[in-house]
Copies of this chain bind each other. A is one copy, B any other.
């Protein structure tokens, strides 16, 4: 009671409270028992400071070690004591050069972290060919301490497996973030370039710490205004902040910009005036933003302008921009998320249909950016059939970090298992083992230009991502973009240690919670391969009854096709035959009701309600039980989290607890509304023990959310 009394006396913590703003770079003191050993292995820091990147690496090490070990090492011109930390490149440090380390395979971004002896004294060296490589190595070194690893006998060699590791911000110039659930855009366009918020520096630090080397500042549904000099000057101010951290600025380009801001009558990519306009505009961009990365384009998709408006192909459009960018070393990221306005076919098939014929026709500095699945970032989708189907074209992975379809910011859903599932999927394109990861990292087809994009979940919310746990998805994306072969669980373990605590009594249960959390969302929203059943427009909450409106493939009924006989989208040979877009072994597996994995059952097949599942239950019973299993998982997460009170700082504990309560309510809502609706088709009773929905179907159908965040506009 005495403790409770004290808590009452000062119920609100000062502003320095654990509000999550420091992300995984908290640098709180390590366990007392480890301090001495770590200090002995970071007695002094020998690091050059001649360049901005060298200075940010040095600053980060001092900040990190000061926080973790309670004291920052002395900065010295060269390592002279036992336990020195030597950071740099052969060019920046003669002492490092004298070590004659083999850096030949590190490329421009890789690094070594190695225990060495210098003049007979133990030391640790972080070595790279470039300053930014050394910066990445510095973050790695700090991460070792943050995650309570030993610093003895280090022999780490890291090289990123993809070249372009970028965030895609769906941020509008008025700071509205499409599909953003963490507040408005961190990019304060109105006050740029005059005011450079210190937050931009923290953003760059966070990204560099996980290996992200680029950012697309504006929404793929963009205004052409972004390319006007006024906005380019603003973007240049951001680029200047980001540059020392190895982060390039990219911009989404509106295909019709030559008309809208160029005064031309057409944006036809084969029109010489249009090509001249883009060339001049690109030259101007590079004058204003040195080191600019390139353009991201959403064309002929969901109403955006594009080359097809002029009877030209995606390749024509992309190559026009590529030509303008090539002299500057810039690239085009051309999105494959397209589907025709005329809906001639199963939407899942259209990107493949439109892009495969152009394989090999894209300029060498074009990446085709493909979402992990063919519909749209659903809680679970089979991998996109384009992966493996365009061997002559480098395909860039596009993951969504923001949880448009996985419960917005309040639902705890760790997405790395979903990313991992997609990356490990075997396309069979060149026989077994032709994983999506090998397509993306270029190893399958020998591409040097490779990349991964993540649609950012970042906004002005104090904790950046809208919830503390959503920070893990940003972190995991960065780590997987660097190395698509990492394990989701290992990433979670690092993140929990860096973000909450290295205490196993925290790490183990929290990692366990996280690892099952995405499957729980699949269960309570869209089990067994169901998809696209959310509220219209804003995508908030269940709405499997959505029908009508401008196009069938924006409705729920298009996707679930429930009727008296059964439920599911027949994409087998008897249906849309989307299975045929996969390599033959997969086409056979997915196309056969007896071999299709149950998690994709209703994605590929229209299945009778009484179909017998592996469990021995009918499909209907299994469906109902899966919904309930998802809700139960959330209840379990609440229980686990409540048990961690006292082990997590009260401020973050309270927010997570409140969000889990919301999640539990909303999971129940998803379950109840879905069951109430599908039961009107199945006409079957709920299986024994399953509670009836809390309300009748009309109640759920009447709910309206006109102000739900993140809706497209």
Binding site for B on A (CB under 8 A): 8-12, 14-16, 19, 21-22, 49, 55, 58-59, 62-63, 66, 72, 75, 172-175, 183-184, 189-191, 194-196, 198, 201-202, 205, 223, 225, 408-410, 460-462, 651, 655, 658-659, 661-662, 665, 706-709
Bound-complex Cα distance A173 to B538 (A) = 14
Whether the Cβ atoms of B662 and A59 lie closer than 8 Å is: no
A55 CB contacts on chain B under 8 angstroms:
8
State the majority secondary structure of interface residues on A.
loop
Q: Are B195 and A11 in contact, with the CB atoms below 8 A?
A: no
Given A21-B15, A183-B184, A658-B196, do A75 and B191 touch, yes or no (CB 8 Å)?
Answer: no
Can you spell out 15 A-B residue pairs with CB atoms less than 8 angstroms apart? A9-B62, A10-B63, A12-B202, A14-B22, A172-B707, A173-B707, A183-B183, A189-B707, A190-B408, A191-B409, A194-B658, A194-B662, A195-B655, A225-B706, A460-B461
Q: Across the interface, do B707 and A9 meet the contact criterion of CB distance under 8 Å?
A: no
* Max chain B C-beta neighbours (<10 A), residue from A172, A195, A461, A659: A195
- Contact status B21-A707, CB under 8 Å: no
A183 and B460 in contact (CB under 8 A), knowing A191-B662, A661-B194, A709-B190? Answer: yes
Q: Given A10-B62, A183-B460, A184-B183: A190 and B708 within 8 A (CB)?
A: yes
- In the complex, what residues of B have CB within 8 A of residue A659's CB? 194-195
Question: With A12-B201, A22-B15 in contact, is A410–B709 under 8 Å at CB?
Answer: no
The residue on B at minimum CB distance from A11 is B59
B-chain residues with CB within 8 Å of residue A184 when the two chains form the complex: 175, 183-184, 460
Given contacts A59-B11, A460-B183, contact A174 B709 (CB under 8 A): yes
Q: Which residues of B contact A194 (CB under 8 A)?
A: 410, 658-659, 661-662, 665
- Since A9-B62, A195-B410, A460-B460 are in contact, a sample of 10 more A-B pairs with Cβ atoms closer than 8 Å, ordered by chain A residue number, is A9-B58, A12-B198, A15-B21, A16-B16, A174-B707, A191-B409, A194-B658, A223-B707, A460-B461, A462-B462
10 nearest A-B residue pairs (beta carbon): A16-B16, A194-B662, A173-B707, A174-B707, A15-B21, A195-B658, A184-B184, A190-B709, A9-B62, A15-B22
Which residues of B lie under 8 Å from residue A461 when comparing CB positions?
460
Is B225 a contact partner of A195 (Cβ separation < 8 A)?
no
Within the assembled complex, what's the spacing in Å between the Cα atoms of A395 and B72?
A: 62
Determine whether the beta carbon of B59 is less than 8 Å from that of A12. yes
How far, in angstroms, from A651 to B198 measured CA to CA in the complex?
9
In Å, the complex CA distance between A523 and B19 comes to: 43
